[in-house]
Amino acid sequence: MIDIHLPTTDGRHIVTSHYTQPDKDVSLLLAHLKLLLPDQPPPKVYASGQIEL
């Protein structure tokens, strides 16, 4: 997982969390086990000075 922090021109920050996609072998295993990965979470917007790390 990686968190991307994007500053805005009005002093706020947008934080988006992204999960990497599984490689082909893991994708096949997940499909065989009938498991699904969760959707990507929505971005979070923080006021200036209020970034959660």
Question: What pLDDT is stored for residue 25 in this prediction?
Answer: 92
CA 26 to chain centre: 19
Instruction: Give the domain range for residue 32.
Output: 2-46
Question: What pLDDT is stored for residue 34 in this prediction?
Answer: 94
1-53: per-residue pLDDT in tens?
Answer: 788 888 888 888 888 877 778 889 988 999 999 998 888 777 777 776 665 55
Residue 53 lies in a domain: no
Residue 51 lies in a domain: no
Measured CA to CA, the distance from residue 3 to residue 16 in angstroms comes to 6
Residue 52 lies in a domain: no
Look at the chain and report how many structural domains it folds into.
1
Question: What pLDDT is stored for residue 48 in this prediction?
Answer: 66
What is the CB neighbour count within 10 angstroms for residue 21?
8
Question: What pLDDT is stored for residue 46 in this prediction?
Answer: 73
